[in-house]
Structure 1
Amino acid sequence: MNSSELDPQSGEIVEVAWSERWQVYRRLQELEIPCWCEVDRPLRVKIDSTTEAIQLASILRRLSASPRELTLSLERCWNRS
C-alpha cells in the first residue's frame, strides 16, 4: 500500500523514542501498515485491524524489552507448540 495515498492526519500518534521511530517506521512499512514519519514530527500509524494492532505492539515490545525478556518470551512460545 502506498502511504502517500492516505491522509496522515487520520492515523494515531505512537509514542516512540525519537532514536527508534525510523526503525519502527521501516518495520511497519515492511508489514504494509500505513504510517507516516516526517522530520521533527511524531510517528503516525493507521491501525485498521486487530492483527495490525498486535503487530505494532510486537514491534514496540521488541524495542523496549530486555534481551532476557525476549528470550523468555521465545522459550514460552516454543514450549507451547
Structure 2
Amino acid sequence: MRQPVIKQAIAIDWCDRWQVFHRLQELNICCCCEANQPLVVEIESAIAAIQIWSVTRQLTSSRQQLISTLERCWHQCL
C-alpha cells in the first residue's frame, strides 16, 4: 500500500530556496518554487523527509555546527 504524500512549505531564506529546490530535484523529490512563494515539497517517505532535512540543514547551519555534527558521527563510527 502506498503511503500518502504530504505537501509541506519549507521556511528557508529566499536567497537559499533556489539552491535547495535544485538539489531536491536532483534527488528526485517533487517540489515547487514559484516567484514570491515559499518552497513546497512533497514528502513521500521517511527517506525523502531525511533528505529534505539534510539539504536544508546544510544551508541553515553554521560551519561550526556542521563540523561538530561530522565529528560526533565520526566518533560514533569508531
Q: Into which bin does the TM-score normalised by the smaller protein fall? A: 0.7 to 0.9
Shift of 1:18: 0.6
Q: Residue deviations 1:40-75, cap 9 Å, x none?
A: 221110001011111111111111111111001011
Give, in angstroms, the shift of residue 11 of structure 1: 2.6
- Gapped regions of structure 1 (runs ≥ 5): 1-9
Q: For residue 20 of structure 1, give the secondary structure of its aligned residue in structure 2.
A: helix
**Paired position in structure 2 for 1:80:** 76
Whole-Å Cα distance in 2 between the matches of residues 15 and 60 of structure 1?
A: 9
Larger displacement relative to structure 2 (11-20 or 45-54): 11-20
**Aligned positions of 1:29-68 closer than 5 A:** 29-68=25-64
TM-score, L = length of structure 2: 0.84
SS of match in other structure, 2:74: helix
Identity %: 44
Alpha-carbon RMSD across the aligned residues, in angstroms, is: 1.3
Report the counterpart of residue 24 of structure 1 in structure 2.
Answer: 20
TM-score scaled by length of structure 1: 0.81
Which has a greater percent of strand? 2
Unaligned runs of 5+ in 2: 1-5
Q: Which runs of 4+ in 1 moved over 4 A?
A: none
